[in-house]
Amino acid sequence: MRILVTGATGYIGGRLVPRLLAAGHEVRVLVRRPERLRDVPWAASLDVVAGDLADPDAVDRAMAGVEAVYYLVHSMGGRGDFEAVELEIARGVGDAAFRHGVRRIVYLGGLHPEGRLSRHLRSRAAVGEILLASGVPTIVLQAGVVIGSGSTSFEMIRHLTEVLPYMPAPRWVRSLIQPIAVRDVLHYLIAAVDVPPDVNRAFDIGGPDVYRYGQLMNGYAVEAGLPQRPIAALPVLTPWLAGQWVNLVTPIPRRLAVPIIESLQFDCVMHDHDIDAVIPPPAEGLLPYRTAVRLALERERAGEVETSWRNAEVAGAPSDPLPSDPEWAGHTVFVDERERMSRAAPAALWRVIEGVGGENGWYSFPLAWALRGWIDKLTGGVGLRRGRLDPDTLHVGDAVDFWRVEAIERGSFLRLRAEMRVPGRAWLELSASEATGRPGDPGDASSHWSSGSTPGGSRYRQRAVFFPRGLAGRLYWWGILPFHGVIFSGMANRITAEAEADERARKR
């Protein structure tokens, strides 16, 4: 079957696509930035359409000739009327699917009660209703808390449990939750395209266990080998305040924490098991919650996390790539450039560059980086604790603390786009190349050799670029300018020194 997947770079989509390919389907994806799929092992098997779901022409191109569509996108809130935008996009997708004769739409929505809902759940329910009314047979799968390595819900449970030995918690720790393993969500999604065309309705899906949220945290504690945590439900924490608390004590940024917590104000359990008559459970049965936690922990410890919340795009962060230098005309731009020579080979220098961030840090003034991360968290940003998915290898679209990989030429060049909160747009470029000059060569006055280095090694270049927004942006740059000499210069020195030390260690 020819299938279009939207949201292929997301947590669920990134796991669904390779499984659809393995099942023999022809898969097309609609993505805003195709380069984000360049390094996935199944990229060569895809038909990639570049575009945005809000662009009718892009949606038309993507729909041509497909038989089924997976709709796996939704906003986690944000500024402005995000609900109206989501509904407009859903109408456009439904209309295009109908015009192109698509035979099935599959939408992953949210498990929710009847009556009053949070903005997040209300929007997801409304999107499902629009797709069901599109004239194309649609299945809406309504899932609650998804448990899997790298999922937002799992990471939130994990960090809340691990960070606090005693948890003064909001009332939502008493809410009833029916979690489902990501493996079982994928089971239902894959089977949904083969459901008979007369089925056009929403189905609740969930695992075999129903717990209070506090029990989910203590279930995690047992599987992680931690003592169970005493939990005291406090009536005074509003969802917004609780979102700030989760933002501070976990790596989950406020933009994700607040809508999740708003949704946790309600009991989210299955109303019925009608899905069993349409899509039977997996032959081995649905995974119990603690088994799903155990498998998620095993995958994380083995470094086998397929997709992660970390790599979700940050709302409000610039998504356009850095304009090339000739296009800077007309922009106010501030640049900090550093260059160093190292006796380490370019390959050794590149290993250090590709390993920046996460556990390795930023090689300069760690207190300043930590302070900047905390400031970002306090203002609702992602902060430094988001870390990175793989400690050694980066791909386009990967998150690295409060940066995102915008471009990478493996072995030579890395460009990171800032996703911390700044009054403007910021990038950091790091590159490694063969050394071609000698100390004192004409045109090389800006560079110097790291301690003890000799010609014939490598050249390290580092460039920070900032496009300020208004007066606030200019004041921000001028305010941090005195620290650049310490932070950026120290970073360049330490990275080249680390490359030399690493190369020496490998030769022993």
Judge whether residue 437 has pLDDT over 70: no
Judge whether residue 464 has pLDDT over 60: yes
Three-state DSSP class for residue 117: coil
Tens digit of each residue's pLDDT (9 = 90 or more) over 346-390: 999 999 999 999 989 999 888 888 888 888 888 777 888 788 888
Judge whether residue 134 has pLDDT over 60: yes
CATH class, range 2-311 = alpha beta
Residue 348 has what pLDDT? 94
- pTM for the whole thing? 0.76
* More confident site: 280 or 161: 280
Residue 282 has what pLDDT? 95
Tens digit of each residue's pLDDT (9 = 90 or more) over 1-12: 999 999 998 899
Residue 447 has what pLDDT? 45
**Neighbouring-strand partners of residue 203:** 141
Domain boundaries along the sequence of the chain: 2-311, 325-507
Flag the least confident range among 188-197, 263-272, 312-321, 389-398: 312-321
* More confident site: 19 or 467: 19
Residue 455 has what pLDDT? 52
Among 428, 380, 382, smallest CA distance to 402 is for 382
> For residue 443, what pLDDT band results from cuts at 50, 70 and 90?
very low
Q: How far apart are the first and last CA of the chain?
A: 55
* More confident site: 267 or 200: 200
Judge whether residue 61 has pLDDT over 90: yes
Flag the least confident range among 66-70, 122-126, 237-241, 482-486: 237-241
H/E segment holding residue 20: helix 13-22
Judge whether residue 304 has pLDDT over 90: no
Residue 453 has what pLDDT? 44
Judge whether residue 451 has pLDDT over 80: no
CATH architecture of 325-507: 2-Layer Sandwich (3.30)
Q: What rounded mean pLDDT belongs to the chain?
A: 86
Burial class (CB in 10 A: 0-12, 13-18, 19+), 1: middle
Helices 346-354 + 470-507 axis angle, to 10:
130
Judge whether residue 310 has pLDDT over 60: yes
CA 503, distance to chain mean position in Å, is 33
| Rounded Cα distance, 309 and 385, in Å | 13
* More confident site: 425 or 332: 425
Confirm if 217 and 290 have CB atoms less than 8 A apart. Answer: no
Flag the least confident range among 233-237, 379-383, 401-405: 233-237
> For residue 29, what pLDDT band results from cuts at 50, 70 and 90?
very high
> For residue 51, what pLDDT band results from cuts at 50, 70 and 90?
very high
Is the Cα dihedral 59, 119, 143, 254 positive or negative? positive
Flag the least confident range among 71-85, 89-103, 311-325, 332-346: 311-325
Residue 201 has what pLDDT? 97
